[in-house]
A and B are shown apart, each in its own frame.
Chain A
């Protein structure tokens, strides 16, 4: 259907920018057919401007930027970014402490890189299947439905943030609580993982209604 891209200010023919320097340094022989076609298309079509959150430096990560945007309240990006950096620092501190206290044989298994922990924790929190409300004959059923990648990431991040905002003591700071939750999620424990398992169980329980889905 001819639908405009949800009111974007760009012409629909504009393509997304590719920021990573590695993809531009590949020699021509290593590219597959699809990549060659993509390159030809990019040479002809105009390209959108890179957003301010995206950069080619090693420190910018699209997943972390998305998480910061979701944590942000009333457009206060400065505060959200500082909270995130404090969280990553807190994770690093805890892991390094654990590392120094651990005996020799376990030192290799302890992960100290906060970015790796963040990515792994998010991956562990992502649900595989979701529920959606479908109304048939007046009654609304919860039908198990496959989720897209974007939706899974969004749900994982949303659950983490709501968990940290609501279930904490009034005096604990957000970075502390978030770092706690991320470490628990990294080890497949904690309330967010429990929520994911509850969702999976509900989907399994409502398996009988799976045929209501038409897409």
Chain B
């Protein structure tokens, strides 16, 4: 079994709608919707609000007030939502009264997937024909590049929701390859609308962090603080301007605190990257973790502090050098039935 650690919860959500046989009829859903609307009006009356302008947020607040629950799992608490959100979409019966299926690809087993592949290939042929026409008329081929960096393709789960049937990994990768082939063609602008159905915007500026302005202490020297963590070590660093390059950790000079060259190299890494080795002084405090973790924590703290001294472009360079990301690697837990996080007990034949 695969265990995806570093991915979002969207990937782990299982798709109930694509599983196949109908679990609830249309009449049932209609009844649920009527009951929901009636219940909404009753609730609005109870709370003393206007039934016409009672939104979903008001419903949530009302339910949280009337049925207070101390359960930790948000999905286990009392819930009142529109039935289309509660019951996932599912497929209606695919064949008529005489038993004959509606769709011509029904007997392939994955009718929506194959019809989608057919459609996409048709668009590809269309684009090729258009290209050939342009070449025949000796017109230049348009080369407006789509911004590939700002958008991503639909994930497998989203595709399953769209098609309402299960899609296997291989099928999904084939579909994505076909889409990529379509996009790389020069005249793909014709089918732009079709392609947009399958691509999503990635929020470009997830990294908009506010850079703090410089503070000035009594002597008029500019300084700035930063905090950093690595494994279990926490560090705070104060970087002063107009300095000689002295670095003090917990009141001790770095030559005495970090006898190993690798740690000292890590401390100086942000300064060396920006070319400001002799220009800043640093005073840091660090606790927890081990030798290397403390060095990494101080590195992150000093890089965050240096952001205030430096232009935006250089901040972007620092981020691309990996100086501003906190390292998420921590000690893996020990599992039951094994000796350590990965090591299993010695295998005995009998």
B-binding residues in A (CB < 8 A) = 1-5, 7-12, 14, 17-19, 21, 24, 37, 40-50, 52-57, 59-60, 77-78, 81
Which of A3, A21, A52, A81 has the most chain B CB atoms inside 10 A of its CB? A52
Provide the main secondary structure of the chain A interface: loop
Q: Contact at B272–A2, with CB atoms within 8 Å?
A: no
Q: Contact at B321–A17, with CB atoms within 8 Å?
A: yes
Q: Which residues of A contact B319 (CB under 8 A)?
A: 47
Contact of B7 among A4, A45, A59, A60 (CB under 8 A): A4
What 1/0 flags go to B273-307 for Cβ under 8 Å of A?
10100000000000000001001100010000000
Q: Contact at B317–A24, with CB atoms within 8 Å?
A: yes
CB-CB nearest in chain B for A21: B273
Chain A nearest CB: distance from B148 CB in Å?
7
Q: Which residues of B contact A44 (CB under 8 A)?
A: 149-150, 202, 204
Known: A47-B325, A57-B268. A37 touches B148 (CB 8 A): yes
Q: Which residues of A contact B295 (CB under 8 A)?
A: 52
CB-CB nearest in chain A for B205: A44
Chain B nearest CB: distance from A127 CB in Å?
30
Total A-B pairs, Cβ < 8 A: 107
Q: Which residues of B contact A52 (CB under 8 A)?
A: 262, 266, 292, 295-296
Known: A47-B319, A48-B325, A57-B268. A2 touches B273 (CB 8 A): no
Chain B nearest CB: distance from A50 CB in Å?
3
> Considering the chains assembled together, what is the distance between the CA atoms of A19 and B303 in angstroms?
14
CB-CB nearest in chain A for B328: A9
Chain A nearest CB: distance from B205 CB in Å?
9
> Considering the chains assembled together, what is the distance between the CA atoms of A53 and B317 in angstroms?
19
> Considering the chains assembled together, what is the distance between the CA atoms of A54 and B5 in angstroms?
25
Q: Contact at A81–B262, with CB atoms within 8 Å?
A: yes
Q: Contact at A17–B322, with CB atoms within 8 Å?
A: yes
> Considering the chains assembled together, what is the distance between the CA atoms of A11 and B326 in angstroms?
13
Q: Contact at B329–A81, with CB atoms within 8 Å?
A: no
Chain B nearest CB: distance from A140 CB in Å?
24
Q: Which residues of A contact B261 (CB under 8 A)?
A: 81
Contact of B265 among A17, A40, A57 (CB under 8 A): A57
B4 an interface residue at 8 Å Cβ cutoff? Answer: yes
Contact of B320 among A17, A37, A40, A59 (CB under 8 A): A17
Q: Which residues of A contact B173 (CB under 8 A)?
A: 1-2
Q: Which residues of A contact B94 (CB under 8 A)?
A: none
Chain A nearest CB: distance from B151 CB in Å?
10
> Considering the chains assembled together, what is the distance between the CA atoms of A53 and B320 in angstroms?
17
Q: Which residues of A contact B207 (CB under 8 A)?
A: 46
Q: Which residues of A contact B317 (CB under 8 A)?
A: 24
Q: Contact at B2–A1, with CB atoms within 8 Å?
A: no
> Considering the chains assembled together, what is the distance between the CA atoms of A60 and B320 in angstroms?
18
Q: Which residues of B contact A43 (CB under 8 A)?
A: 149, 204, 316
> Considering the chains assembled together, what is the distance between the CA atoms of A113 and B268 in angstroms?
25
What 1/0 flags go to B311-334 for Cβ under 8 Å of A?
000001101111101111110000
Q: Which residues of A contact B300 (CB under 8 A)?
A: 49
B350 an interface residue at 8 Å Cβ cutoff? Answer: no
Known: A41-B149, A46-B325. A56 touches B273 (CB 8 A): yes
> Considering the chains assembled together, what is the distance between the CA atoms of A46 and B260 in angstroms?
31
Q: Which residues of B contact A1 (CB under 8 A)?
A: 169-170, 173
